[in-house]
Structure 1
C-alpha cells in the first residue's frame, strides 16, 4: 500500500476547511491562492489517491524513436542478442539508423534490450600427462637461495639453485651457480645430461630469461 505523505494530509485539511469556511478564507489561512484550492477541491473524490501528486512525465517527446526505427532495433536485437553497443549501432547505421550512440543506449536500456552476456565457458582442467619411461620429460627450474641458508664461506654471496627432475622416476639433480644467466643454464644442462643414466627426449622450462633470450630481444625491438 502506498504511503500517505504530508502534502496529502495538508491538501485534505485545506479542502475540509474550504468546505466549512469558504475558499477565500481557506486560501488566506493556508497561505495559498484560490486557484490551488479549487484545483484540489475538484480533484478530490473522497480517496487518498486523488490527493497524490500526478506524474509530470511527458506522454511523448519530439525526438523519440518512430515506429519504423523501433521495429528495426527490435529485429536487429532479435538476430544479434549478444553483440555490444558499438557494433550494434554500426549495424543499425548500415540500415539507415541515424541516432547517436547515447540515444540508442538510453532506448535499449529503457526497453530492456541491452546485450545479453554469454555464460562463461566451464573450465575443464587438462588431465596430467603421465610419463611412460625415464627421460621422456625433464623439468628444470631455478630458485634464488635465501641468505639464511648459506653457511661458512658461502655467506655474503648470491647463489641460484638449478633443479632438474625426471617426471617418471622423480630422479633429481641439483646444482648452485653464482650467475643467473644462459651460460649457467647451459653448464647445468650439460652436467645433468652427463649424470642422468638414460637418454633425455624433452626438457621443459618456464621460458625464463636464463633459458632463452627470445623475450628480452623482442622487448628491445619494441
Structure 2
C-alpha cells in the first residue's frame, strides 16, 4: 500500500516542527501530548514510510505449547478420559510435561477436552428422631 495518508502528512509536519522548535511547543501547537510527539520522533528516520501505522495483528506467543506437548496431552487424555485434572497433570509430569497445572487447564479448555470434574456425593437426609412423649425435647434452665 503506497498511498500517503492525511495522518502521515500530519505526523511529518509535526515531527519536522518538533525538530526545529522542540517537543513542548509542538505538543501545544498540534494539540497533542508530548509523549505522542516523542513516539513519532523516535520512529522517524527521514522517510514518510516510517510514519505509517504498524500492524496490530496478534503475534505468535513464544511460550505457547509445542506440538509435541499438545500431542502428549491428547494421547494421554484419550487413555485417561476419567482422570481428574490433578491426577492427569501428575501422569503428564511423569512423562516429561513441564508446564503448570493452570497452563494445562487452559490448554485442555482450548482444545475442547475439558477436565472431568467428579460429581459431588448425593445428599442423603438422616432419619428424624421421633419424640417418645410430648415435651421430651424441652429444656428449662433453672438457677
More strand per residue: 1
User: What is the TM-score of this pair, normalised by structure 1?
Assistant: 0.33
Report the structure number with the largest CA radius of gyration: 1
Query: TM (normalized to structure 2)?
Result: 0.46
